[in-house]
């Protein structure tokens, strides 16, 4: 199973993979049920989770029913415990919508839910994040995960999110980060997919972010708060939810409107 998942995730586009995998994993899920792990997104428990990874597979990473990974489960817990996402009327922009969130978010009565992407069949709006087709100050909140590492003009894209968010609005922007590396590794002369995979972790990435990722978000105008879930969850909870200790939530806020 681990080898199959590694091959599939390396060479099949994510949207195609998710469409094909959904029904297969729902069947596989029946053989993984137990009490050791819990997916907080849907409350289903398992004796173990599936491995996942393009090169080096992580054990107990993928929850088969929701198809959530560690970062998705961490985001869900953060949204529940730290934001107004489930409690207030929100106009919410979700770019590159993840399968594990899509149907649940659409069902939420408090959300005016807009999805956007350049190619995803699940997107309401076909769009380029470098130049979004939205007015200024249009959204209360936004989420865009594991996208900026694909886009050379990342700061320009961050500024676009800042533009379309209302004053006081918030956003979550997760990316692959090496926190122990001070500076982001990027080189626009590298075009070979194999070399990109070696340098940036994936064949369609253009960089590997370092600890200076937050500087780029601040350059775009955001106030950035890096939230370490390990500081508020016990080791038992981290293991039960199948979370990574290295995954931190990048929570960004647009300043309130000031008087002239």
Q: Tens of pLDDT along 43-81?
A: 999 999 999 987 778 999 999 999 999 999 999 999 999
Q: CB 159: neighbour CB atoms within 10 A?
A: 16
Q: How many CA atoms lie within 13 A of 214 on its CB side?
A: 16
Closest-CA residue to 185 (of 203, 202, 206, 208): 208
The dihedral through the CA atoms of 143, 149, 152, 153 has a sign that is positive
Q: Which single residue is written with the structure tokens 């769009």? A: 127
Indicate the pTM of the whole model: 0.88
DSSP 123: -
DSSP summary character for residue 231: G
Delimit the domains of the chain by residue range: 2-68, 71-253
Annotate 234-260 with b (16+ C-beta within 10 A) or e (fewer).
eeeebebbbbbeebbbbbbbbeeeeee
Spelled out in words, what is the top-level CATH class assigned to the domain 71-253?
alpha beta
Region 165-182: what's the mean pLDDT?
97
- Output the pLDDT for position 260: 33
The residue assigned the tokens 């350059």 is 219
């Amino acid at each position: 199973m681990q080898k199959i998942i590694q091959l599939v995730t390396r060479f099949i586009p994510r949207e195609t993979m998710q469409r094909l995998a959904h029904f297969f994993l729902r069947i596989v899920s029946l053989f993984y049920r137990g009490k050791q792990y819990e997916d907080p997104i849907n409350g289903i428990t398992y004796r173990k989770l599936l491995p996942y990874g393009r090169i080096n597979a992580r054990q107990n990473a993928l929850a088969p029913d929701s198809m959530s990974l560690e970062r998705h489960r961490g985001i869900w817990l953060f949204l529940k415990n730290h934001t107004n996402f489930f409690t207030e009327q929100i106009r919410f922009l979700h770019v590159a919508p993840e399968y594990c969130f899509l149907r649940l978010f659409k069902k939420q009565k408090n959300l005016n839910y807009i999805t956007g992407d350049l190619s995803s069949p699940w997107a309401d709006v076909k769009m380029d994040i470098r130049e979004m087709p939205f007015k200024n100050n249009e959204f209360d909140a936004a989420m865009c995960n594991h996208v900026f590492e694909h886009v050379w003009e990342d700061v320009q894209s961050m500024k676009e999110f800042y533009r379309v968010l209302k004053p006081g609005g918030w956003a979550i922007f997760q990316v692959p980060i090496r926190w122990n590396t001070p500076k982001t590794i990027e080189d626009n002369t590298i075009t070979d997919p194999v070399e990109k995979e070696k340098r940036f972790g994936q064949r369609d990435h253009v960089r590997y972010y370092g600890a200076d990722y937050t500087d780029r978000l601040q350059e775009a105008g955001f106030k950035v708060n890096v939230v370490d879930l390990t500081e508020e969850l016990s080791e038992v909870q981290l293991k039960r939810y199948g979370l990574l200790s290295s995954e931190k939530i990048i929570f960004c806020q647009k300043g309130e409107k000031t008087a002239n």
